[in-house]
């Protein structure tokens, strides 16, 4: 047994394993700390106090309202309506998901396209007023999300995860990247 402990090959292997384990522990802790920084901004612990989850709920609720108005003028089977409706009804995404902000990057392009299409149609004044209110609510919430700095932090964190070293640590520690919301301007 003593021969095994004093064997140079065993000693080098043990030191290498200790170094690797400490790198994964320390690197994983740093990644968790950076992940929590992004999550703090998403939960409203930022300078402006903008809660990304609340803002995403505003966008998703107004997207559902947009569908109600759009169905008056566009066939319910239209792909523009179907894409939004599928994301809102899917339990993995939509309104029932507590982290609905992860859905916005998927749904916002469809909502913007539908709003653009509806703006060129001949719409009665009552529906036009509703569309204006919906559009203002959606774009105001997206603007507040951009002001919070969430997109920049999420993009930086995702860039950090693309490094082979940190990507390996993130995979081992189970750390995921973040989606940006409505693109970053």
- Can you give the three-state secondary structure of the chain, one letter per residue? CHHHHHCHHHHHHHHHHHHHHHHHHHHHHHHHHHHHHHHHHHCCCCCCCCCHHHHHHHHHHHHHHHHHHHCCCCCCCCHHHHHHHHHHHCCCCCCCCCCCHHHHHHHHHHHHHHHHHHHCCCCCHHHHHHHHHHHHHHHHHHHHHHHHCHHHHHHHHHHHHCCHHHHHHHHHHCCCCCCCCCCCC
Q: Residue range 82-107: average pLDDT?
A: 64
Q: What per-residue confidence (pLDDT) applies to 138?
A: 92
Sequence spans of domains, the chain = 2-46+150-173, 52-148
Residue 75's pLDDT band (boundaries 50, 70, 90)?
confident
Which residues, in sequence order, are CB contacts of 46 under 8 Å at separation 6+?
40, 148, 149, 150
Q: Is 111 exposed, middle or buried (0-12, 13-18, 19+ CB in 10 A)?
A: buried
Q: What per-residue confidence (pLDDT) applies to 2?
A: 60
Q: Residue range 135-164: average pLDDT?
A: 88
What are 122-134's pLDDT values in tens digits? 889 898 999 999 9
Q: Which of 4-18, 90-104, 120-134 has the highest mean pLDDT?
A: 120-134
Phi-psi region of 178 (alpha: psi -120 to 50; beta: other; left: phi over 0): beta
Q: What per-residue confidence (pLDDT) applies to 182?
A: 62
The overall average pLDDT reported for the chain is 80
Q: What per-residue confidence (pLDDT) applies to 154?
A: 86
Q: Residue range 74-81: average pLDDT?
A: 80
Q: What per-residue confidence (pLDDT) applies to 65?
A: 92
C-beta separation of 94 from 63 below 8 A: no
Residue 1's pLDDT band (boundaries 50, 70, 90)?
low
Checking if the pLDDT of 94 tops 60, the result is no
138 against 82, higher pLDDT? 138
Q: What per-residue confidence (pLDDT) applies to 132?
A: 93
C-beta separation of 42 from 53 below 8 A: yes
């Amino acid at each position: 047994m003593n021969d095994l402990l004093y064997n140079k090959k065993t000693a080098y292997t043990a030191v290498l394993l200790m170094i690797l384990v400490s790198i994964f522990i320390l690197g994983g802790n740093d990644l968790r700390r950076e992940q929590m920084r992004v999550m703090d901004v998403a939960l409203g612990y930022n300078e402006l106090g903008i809660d990304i989850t609340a803002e995403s709920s505003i966008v998703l609720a107004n997207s559902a309202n947009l569908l109600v108005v759009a169905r008056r003028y566009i066939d319910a089977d239209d792909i523009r309506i179907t894409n939004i409706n599928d994301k809102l009804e899917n339990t993995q995404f939509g309104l029932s998901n507590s982290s609905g902000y992860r859905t916005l990057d998927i749904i916002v392009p469809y909502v913007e396209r539908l709003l653009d299409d509806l703006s060129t149609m001949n719409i009665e004044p009552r529906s036009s007023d509703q569309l204006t209110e919906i559009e203002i609510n959606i774009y105001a919430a997206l603007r507040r999300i951009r002001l919070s700095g969430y997109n920049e932090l999420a993009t930086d964190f995702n860039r950090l995860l693309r490094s082979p070293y940190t990507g390996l640590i993130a995979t081992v520690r189970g750390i995921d990247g973040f989606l940006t919301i409505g693109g970053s301007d």
